Amino acid sequence: MSKTMALRVFGLNLVKTNRSLLQNACKATALPAGQTVAEASYATEVTVHASPAAIQKQKVSKAMKAYLKRATEHDEFMKTQHLEFQIGKRHLANMMGADAETFTQEDIDEAISYLFPSGLYDPKARPAMKTPEEVFPARKAAEFDETGRPFHSMFYTGKPNFFQLLHEIVEETNKLYELEERMLRRGIKPDENQKLEIAGFQVLPKDQLETQLVESIADIEYTNFSNSMDRLIASPYAYKSKAFIERYLKPLMDQSKQLEVPKPKIDEQGRQYITTYECLRKTARADVTVRMPGTGKISINGQDVSYFEDENSREQLLFPLNYSELLGKVDVEANVEGGGPSGQSGAIRWGIAMCLRSFVDQEMIESMRLAGLLTRDYRRRERKKFGQEGARRKYTWKKR
């Protein structure tokens, strides 16, 4: 719980305030900041105004009473948290010799990592200071009035937001079906140009949907959701409800990063070349230069391919060259150190593949990516555990 440690420095003691809230906080910090905006429709900053006098005379249900009490408590708690966060921020800005008014969240992160350097592996476990909205997850607003009568017609399903969403999806789908019917009757075809592009997107994963709805869903319910979303997207007029669909889609990955292929440089002999530094695999580190046009010459630490004695390692080097059909057309120079043969060859293989991007077309790059050539292999040796023979293997069990 290094987070508390960091916060305690600024006079905040979360543990004292509410342990369960703190546990929630750990979950919530993992979410991207943008998510909080989307949540607004289902969960609100609970600000309950004191109920009007007319109602006060009426009988107030016990549930409502309890809720009101909890809400005011939470509200106050959040207020103090806000205040303390502001004070903490000012302290931090002072310490760093910066202006407190223009001190942004980025500056805070930087300051924290400077003041509390941490070698902990998991970024979530490292000290951090964030706004209370981000630390404490949103909670549901009141779902019933003072007399205890629920607002939502689906309150008794237990998951009103979720079933509401399903309803909305089906409504949209039916709308599109009707539209399709009408258009068919008139003989109009859907606009091909406006067709919804969902390549590179996926339906919101379960955990993100849960935080958006502020409700926990079962697996089968999530399947129902994704199936009905698929049905909606499959409609030829899906572009008509683009705005709705996009609320429940998530981009698969940052494609712009992948598209950035470095331009080759020209060496003194007039050949194009590109160098990839920091090619890593296991504990091996390499830098690889690929020159085009070449004759297929390979040089690894000044030696030819016989640097690798075993067949497997040579095959590793062969694969990207063969796959991109540039075997014998480029020269490869590599400097590699650390690790063993398989790590070294893996590092060089990745380096070659990354370099070759500059010499092949976009289609081939995509194909290479799908073949896994451009993916870093992050696997490392697993440590041995005490009481065990190795990483996983247990000692032979003997009765006595």
Partner 1 sequence: MKMFRKHLGNLSRVSTQLQRNVVQLSTNAEASPIEETAAASVNEFRTAVANPGEHSALHVAKFYTIPVEQKKQIFTGGGLPKQYEQQIKTFTEPCLMVRSPALELLHYIKNADLTKPVVRYVLYGDNGVGKTLTMAHVLHYGAINDFLLVHVPWAPNWMKRPKEASNASQEGMLDLPFDAAAWLVHFKTQNAKLLQQLQLKTNKEYVWSKRESTPAGSSLIELVEHGIARIKYATDTTVALISELKQLSTAGQCKIMVAIDGFNAFFHPETRIFSDNKQRVTPDRITLTQPFLDITNYDWTNGVCILSVDKIAMTEGYMDSYMPRYLLGTQGFEHIDPFVPIHVENYTDKEFHSYINYYLDRHWINKTPQGFEEQLKFMSNKNPYTLMQLVKAL
Query: By the criterion CB under 8 A, which residues form the site for partner 1?
Result: 296, 298, 304-306, 311, 314-315, 317-318, 321-322, 325, 327-328
Alpha-carbon distances of 170 from 153, 195, 227, 244, 246, rounded to whole Å: 17, 20, 11, 12, 16
Residue 215: other Cβ atoms inside 10 A = 19
Closest CB to partner 1 among 197 and 311?
Answer: 311
Closest CB to partner 1 among 328 and 390?
Answer: 328
Closest CB to partner 1 among 103 and 319?
Answer: 319
Task: With beta carbons less than 8 A apart as the criterion, state whether 288 and 348 touch.
Answer: yes
Closest CB to partner 1 among 269 and 306?
Answer: 306
Closest CB to partner 1 among 267 and 315?
Answer: 315
Q: Please give the structure tokens belonging to residue 272.
A: 């194009």
C-beta of 264: minimal distance to partner 1 in Å?
23
Whole-angstrom Cα distance, residue 264 to residue 291? 9
Closest CB to partner 1 among 136 and 359?
Answer: 359
Closest CB to partner 1 among 26 and 327?
Answer: 327
C-beta of 377: minimal distance to partner 1 in Å?
22
C-beta of 290: minimal distance to partner 1 in Å?
15
C-beta of 373: minimal distance to partner 1 in Å?
17
Q: Please give the structure tokens belonging to residue 232.
A: 């909606």
Q: Please give the structure tokens belonging to residue 335.
A: 């400097």
Closest CB to partner 1 among 228 and 316?
Answer: 316
Whole-angstrom Cα distance, residue 125 to residue 134? 16
For 169-173, the CB contacts below 8 A with 24+ separation are 169/225, 169/228, 169/229, 169/232, 170/228, 172/232, 172/241, 172/244, 173/228, 173/231, 173/232, 173/235
C-beta of 344: minimal distance to partner 1 in Å?
17
- Contact residues for 327 (Cβ-Cβ < 8 A; gap 6+): 296, 318, 321
C-beta of 304: minimal distance to partner 1 in Å?
6
Closest CB to partner 1 among 193 and 295?
Answer: 295
Whole-angstrom Cα distance, residue 395 to residue 388? 6
C-beta of 336: minimal distance to partner 1 in Å?
17
Q: Is 219 helix (H, G, I), strand (E, B) or coil?
A: helix
Whole-angstrom Cα distance, residue 366 to residue 359? 13
Task: With beta carbons less than 8 A apart as the criterion, state whether 250 and 202 touch.
Answer: yes
C-beta of 328: minimal distance to partner 1 in Å?
5
Upstream peptide bond of 293 is cis (omega within 30 degrees of 0) = yes
C-beta of 315: minimal distance to partner 1 in Å?
7
Q: Please give the structure tokens belonging to residue 130.
A: 């964030």
